[in-house]
């Protein structure tokens, strides 16, 4: 059975960030392609159809967290309290029940810069390496194979990211030999697919990436707790049901959550 890791980011790779932009995270969801195509996609499509008049050809609606939070078109129906309540109830139900495993890797870029003043691993690539390691380990423990899909950003940045992914595939990592990476990843290419193509896996990870970012950020010193009620509910679900965890003792840290450097 082939699997896929869908990736979304919160933050940027700027190595001289202001305090407000010091953290970058990558969140990935692991799902089997059969589960994506036959469970995740129809469930998300039905939700969009029921609440936002989605039609894949004549009126495609793509879930974007920013527009949803702002209740911008095509999500302006969320200004109606009853519709907003139904949306939150149903999307939280899907975040809880859909077949996926979540992993978030975060880096404190300022601490990374201070700790490694001569050698600096690109923050995005550092997070990607840690995320792919955990994906490969999951594939290996479940005797599965799979690939990786992300949303494109900018051509120059994406070209570097593809090169970094190819390097991982060819050389392995500090913790995983190349033979294991190549056995478990079906392609040496990082695949890009914009959300506008209505990829429901990318839309699902977009729904959880921001709350997970805030949850993981709280583990660093002097970071304020998340207060958004909806985000807190997402984190509660992730922590209880969806973060990858150590199968022997249930620990999430280091498995479904990784903090860098």
The CA distance from 48 to 99, in Å, is 19
State the residue for tokens 């975040």.
95
Question: Which residues fall within 8 angstroms of residue 207, CB to CB, at 6 or more apart?
Answer: 63, 65, 91, 95, 234
* Sequence ranges of the domains in the chain: 2-38+100-260
Relative orientation angle of helices 200-217 and 41-52, to the nearest 10 degrees: 90
Residue 86's pLDDT is 98
Count of other CB atoms within 10 angstroms of residue 60: 13
pLDDT, tens digit (0-9, with 9 covering 90-100), for 170-192? 999 999 999 999 999 999 999 99
**If we measure between CA atoms, which residue out of 221, 144, 215, 132 comes closest to residue 172?**
132
The CA distance from 209 to 211, in Å, is 6
The CA distance from 241 to 25, in Å, is 20
Intra-chain end-to-end CA distance of the chain, in Å: 34
Q: Answer yes or no: are the C-beta atoms of 209 and 67 closer than 8 Å.
A: no
Spans of the chain, pLDDT less than 70:
1, 116-121
Q: DSSP assignment, residue 156?
A: H
The CA distance from 79 to 96, in Å, is 24
Residue 117's pLDDT is 58
Residue 19's pLDDT is 81
């Amino acid at each position: 059975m082939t699997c896929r890791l869908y990736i979304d980011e919160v933050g940027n790779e700027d190595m001289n960030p202001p305090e407000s932009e010091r953290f970058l995270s990558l969140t990935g969801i692991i799902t089997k392609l059969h589960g994506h195509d036959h469970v995740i996609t129809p469930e998300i499509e039905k939700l969009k159809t029921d609440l936002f008049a989605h039609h894949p050809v004549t009126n495609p609606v793509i879930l974007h967290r920013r527009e949803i939070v702002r209740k911008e078109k095509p999500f302006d129906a969320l200004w109606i309290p009853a519709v907003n309540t139904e949306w939150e109830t149903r999307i939280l139900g899907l975040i809880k029940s859909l077949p996926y495993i979540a992993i978030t890797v975060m880096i404190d870029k300022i601490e990374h810069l201070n700790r490694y003043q001569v050698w600096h691993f690109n923050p995005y690539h550092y997070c990607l390496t840690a995320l792919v390691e955990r994906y490969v380990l999951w594939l290996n423990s479940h005797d599965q194979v799979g690939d990786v899909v992300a949303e494109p950003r900018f051509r120059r940045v994406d070209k570097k990211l593809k090169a970094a992914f190819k390097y991982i595939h060819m050389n392995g990592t500090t913790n995983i030999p190349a033979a294991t990476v190549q056995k478990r990843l079906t392609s040496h290419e990082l695949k890009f697919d914009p959300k506008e193509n209505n990829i429901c896996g990318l839309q699902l990870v977009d729904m959880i990436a921001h709350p997970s970012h805030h949850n993981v950020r709280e583990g660093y010193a002097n970071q304020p707790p998340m207060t958004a009620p909806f985000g807190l509910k997402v984190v509660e679900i992730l922590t209880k049901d969806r973060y990858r965890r150590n199968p022997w003792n249930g620990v999430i840290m280091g498995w479904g959550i990784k903090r860098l450097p």
